[in-house]
Amino acid sequence: MTGSVKAPIRIVALTDSDSYVKWGAALLSRAPAHWDRSLFLLETPALPSDSQLSAALAGTETGVMAEVVGLEEFAARLSAMNPDIVLVSVRGKVVKVAIRTIVGATTRRPVIVTGLPGISVPATRLAVAHRAQADLFVVHSRREVREFSELAASMGVEQRFGLATLPFLTLGTRRRQAGRGDIVFATQAKVPAERTDRLALLGWLAETARRSPDRRVLIKVRAAIGEQQTHAETHEFATLLLQLDPPAPANLVVASGPMSSHLADAAALVTVSSTAAIEAVALGVPVLAINDFGVSAEMINPVFEGSGLLGSSADLVRGDFRTPDPAWLGDNYFHGDGGDTWLDELDGLLRIREAGALTLKPQRQGLAGGMLRLAWDRKRILGHYDRSLAGRIAIVIGTPLSAAARMARRAKRLVTGTEPV
């Protein structure tokens, strides 16, 4: 960054759940080395465990350490630090509360940056609406920039999108001989959602393990039983594994820890739609994206169309893993660091801030309710960490009102066929 923007730049990152800690810490590590960087972890019911936090921070620079804070303490720290940039690396419903806190705690508002921690195709209206007040929305492929820009324009949301290479990717070449190492299955909390589908997946993995008794088939989980994660998981793979009939072979195992550690020794990566597939491609690890459940927005896997990575459960059992079509790479996460624009966008926003022209855009949803709504939003994201009387009152009054509003929106969608914001 050059010109009139003062140096050094002070950037503060606020994170909450496991995947947003991983993304926020990694993106913070990609900021210029001379910047003053701080990382905070917000106390919410999604607070990662110590082991999850260790996995999420693996590979980030040692100077970037997470400090756990409550919302009031974060506001106080912001007021004292007077940052130039705040990276809001939190779940969608937390973003607007975080932005209110930033605006209320700073006399000279910092540039507010936000984003999504992995594959974000297809672009969704909720993702745009939740982050509409941010100054910069970071995404990770040319396709994502294009799709989000088109969607935001159709919604009437004025938004800057910055392109950043997925910050936790490690670009490299194969380190092992073909056919050696674990077959790693990257689990997801939401996909597939149904118990029967998840049991089917485990059955295919068990058969793969039986046919390859000399190596492990490793089920990589994001959370141990009882730990929280970004998306709630109804049917945990570790629990379902005990219910397989016939029982799973001994070389089908469950493990947590950093994905990067497992991929370092992997022979292949299997998933439905996890961003781990992109991590594997970056390392030259063959991938199979299971398409038995269809290719759809619900499966979060349309991005793999044309990649050459999609295949069936029969391909998994045969050990037919793939490398991506080179024509797919440039538009999907492998544009090269020279294609990144997010730091240039930040430079422009910092200049606007220096000129005193950085304005706060309007909130796009959750506008009704006044002070009660503010207390409701805060209580919903902080849970038991919010001990305020206003929060307790808001939950008592707001819960039935919220249920009625959801029913009304559902009825409207059934009548009009419109997509919710």
- Summarised one tens digit per residue, pLDDT across range 376-391 is 788 888 888 888 877 7
Q: What pLDDT is recorded for position 59? A: 82
**Mean pLDDT value across the chain:** 88
The predicted-structure confidence for 312-328, as pLDDT tens digits, reads as follows 999 999 999 999 999 99
Which pLDDT score, from 0 to 100, does residue 333 have?
A: 97
CATH class, 10-169+335-354 region: alpha beta
Written as one string, the DSSP assignment of 356-402 is: T---PPPP-S--TTHHHHHHHHHHHHHGGG---HHHHHHHHHHHHHH
The more confidently predicted of residues 61 and 416 is 61
Q: What is the pLDDT of residues 112-124, one digit of tens each?
A: 999 999 999 999 9
Instruction: Say if residue 403 is exposed, middle or buried (CB neighbours under 10 Å; 0-12, 13-18, 19+).
Output: exposed
What is the pLDDT at residue 397?
A: 78
Report the alpha-carbon distance of residue 103 to residue 378 in Å, rounded: 15
Percent of residues, the chain, with pLDDT higher than 70: 86
The ranges assigned to domains in the chain are 10-169+335-354, 182-328, 370-416
What is the per-residue pLDDT for 213? 94
CATH fold of 182-328, please? Answer: Rossmann fold (3.40.50)
pLDDT tens string 158-194:
999 999 999 999 865 545 444 579 999 999 988 898 9
Alpha-carbon span 365 to 371, nearest angstrom: 15
Tokens at 118, concatenated: 């992995």
Whether 182-328 and 10-169+335-354 are alike in CATH topology: the answer is yes
pLDDT confidence of 368, banded at 50, 70, 90? low
The model carries a pTM of 0.89
**Do residues 109 and 378 touch, judged by C-beta distance below 8 A?**
no
Sheet of 85-89, strand order: 66-69, 36-42, 10-15, 85-89, 111-115, 136-139, 161-163
pLDDT of 64: 62
The stretch 333-356 carries a mean pLDDT of: 96
Q: Say if residue 245's pLDDT is above 60.
A: yes
Q: What is the mean pLDDT of residues 271-280?
A: 96
Q: How far apart are CA 110 and CA 83, in angstroms?
A: 6
Tell me what the mean pLDDT of segment 31-36 comes to.
Answer: 94
**Residue with structure tokens 């200049």?**
351
41 vs 16, 65, 132, 134, CA distance in Å?
A: 5, 10, 22, 19
Residue 63 has pLDDT above 60, yes or no: no
First-to-last alpha carbon distance for the chain, in angstroms, is 36
pLDDT category, 407, cuts 50, 70, 90? low
Phi-psi region of 344 (alpha: psi -120 to 50; beta: other; left: phi over 0): alpha
Coil, helix or strand for 51?
Answer: helix
**What's the pLDDT at 400?**
63
At residue 326, what are phi and psi to the nearest 5 degrees?
-55, -30
The distance of Cα 78 from the centroid of its chain, to the nearest Å, equals 24
pLDDT band at 3 (very low <50, low <70, confident <90, very high): very low
What is the average pLDDT across 226-251? 77
Q: What is the pLDDT of residue 2?
A: 43
**pLDDT digit string, tens, across residues 76-104:** 999 999 999 999 999 999 999 999 999 99
* AA identity, residue 95: V
Residues, the chain, total? 421
